[in-house]
Amino acid sequence: MFLYKHGENIFDPQKATYSTPEKTSRLSKSETKILQYLIDNCGEIVSRETLLQIGWPGKFVVPNSLNVSIGNLRKVFRQDRAIIITIKDKGFTIKDDNFIRHQIEPEAIREFDPESNEVQYSANDKEQEISPRQSLPTWKIVCYSLLILVILFGIALGLGSWKRPPCVTINSDLTICGDIEFLNIKELP
């Protein structure tokens, strides 16, 4: 596993993130592939067609998709927006020596063996990112939204169909509310 450092900033292709001291930004799959390819080929001009193939392999996308991805990457870079250089009518490049590739070792994980009461360390083969703010998949968001709408619609329908029962004032001290058809008003005082 490896990551790229640019000053204090870190690009982690495995996690699809670009971190500055202030913020960690999530990159799309296409943005990650494009940035990694530009870094691996720094100093070379990479054509738009090549980046479209790298970012969206086997898919037909409009050329503006690349412009949007490059724009998103430049926003992530913040003050260093000139990291990706546009070469008119040729493509894009990254200056030499902007990013330094670092090999990282898998983190050690402590495992407790209850039988021996010992803590054992083992290498983590799979990288797991545990975030307190993990986003829900789109389909779950849609389902929850529909459920909320159905509940609100049911409440609105129930409130709209609820009618106040009819009331009849017999005298100034007596008002009767309810189904008046069953009352014999002549027998009331």
What domains are there in the chain, each with its CATH number? 2-102 (1.10.10.10), 135-189 (no CATH)
Contacting residues for 135 by C-beta, under 8 A, at least 6 apart? none
Q: Are 56 and 43 in contact (CB under 8 A)?
A: no
> Mean pLDDT in the chain?
77
- Categorize the per-residue pLDDT at 33 as very low, low, confident or very high, splitting at 50, 70 and 90: very high
What does DSSP say about strands 84-87 and 91-94: parallel, antiparallel, or unpaired? antiparallel
* The predicted structure's pLDDT at residue 136: 63
Residue 56 DSSP label: S
- The confidence band for 131, taking pLDDT boundaries of 50, 70 and 90, is very low
Helix (H) or strand (E) holding 2: strand 2-6
With cut-offs at 50, 70 and 90, classify the pLDDT of residue 47: very high
- Mean of the pLDDT values across residues 106-128? 47
Section 109-120 average pLDDT: 49
Check residue 50 and give its pLDDT.
92
**Could you give the CA distance from residue 68 to residue 173 in angstroms, rounded to a whole number?**
75
What Rg do the C-alpha atoms of the chain give, in angstroms? 32
